[in-house]
Chain A
Amino acid sequence: AQKITQTQPGMFVQEKEAVTLDCTYDTSDQSYGLFWYKQPSSGEMIFLIYQGSYDEQNATEGRYSLNFQKARKSANLVISASQLGDSAMYFCAMRGGNYGQNFVFGPGTRLSVLP
């Protein structure tokens, strides 16, 4: 069975600073995908970034980057230059490589950006 763990229920960061949100996962699949989503107070889940298990380089999307350490089974999200609009819940998720496997989500981390 696949499992996602996010050990930080809440995080605070000062505006313009960088912040790392932790995510560890457990799977026996050799091929899998890791995802991060942002959920503002409005409720909609916004896709941020994807990392494949066979990708040799860490994924980056604008201010978001994924610190992928396969041996440690971790996929931490790094947000550079935090903005007030980054305050939200952040969810780490994974999908296994077998056809038809559904997403597994972590419990989420609430990030608060302080002015």
Chain B
Amino acid sequence: KAGVTQTPRYLIKTRGQQVTLSCSPISGHRSVSWYQQTPGQGLQFLFEYFSETQRNKGNFPGRFSGRQFSNSRSEMNVSTLELGDSALYLCASSLPGQGPKETQYFGPGTRLLVL
């Protein structure tokens, strides 16, 4: 079974621009979560989507948004990029309905550099 895929793997943008990252979950997984990882802040939860609906949301400004399509693929968008948005963005998919045993499987991440 193919794992979680993320595109692009690397991205360089300038301040003020916007960016869209894509995530394809493991086949059959209907939940997709996004995380931002930086050396200073560690791993921070952005949001989670299940069946095209946002199920959970972390504490990030409205510049960060996401969506999920009917095939469970997800995108996240960051508008008006700031230097502090430079990070590794990780996507994870899971199979809902298993309660606390619901395991997240991660993709390779997208490294975003904002200049």
Interface residues of A (CB under 8 A from B): 29, 31-33, 35, 37, 42-47, 50, 52-53, 91, 95-97, 99-105, 107-108
Contacts and interface: CB of A to CB of B under 8 A. Distances in A.
Contacts of A44: 106-109
Interface of B: 33, 42-43, 45, 48, 50, 55-56, 58, 88, 90, 92, 99-109, 111
Given A102-B45, A108-B42, A53 B100 contact: yes
Given A43-B111, A107-B42, 8 more contacts: A32-B100, A46-B106, A47-B104, A47-B106, A50-B103, A95-B102, A102-B56, A104-B45
B77 to A, nearest CB: 20
| Consensus secondary structure, chain B interface | strand
19 contacts: A31-B99, A31-B100, A32-B100, A33-B99, A33-B103, A35-B104, A42-B108, A43-B111, A45-B92, A52-B100, A97-B99, A100-B50, A100-B56, A102-B33, A102-B48, A102-B58, A103-B92, A107-B42, A108-B42
A37 B105 CA distance: 10
A46 to B, nearest CB: 8
A43 B104 contact: no
Nearest to A96: B100
A101 B109 CA distance: 22
A95 B107 contact: no
A104 B107 CA distance: 18
A105 B42 contact: yes
B10 to A, nearest CB: 11
Given A44-B109, A91-B43, A108-B42, A103 B100 contact: no
Contact of B100 (A47, A91, A97, A108): A97
A29 B100 CA distance: 10
Contacts of A46: 106
Contacts of A99: 99
A91 to B, nearest CB: 7
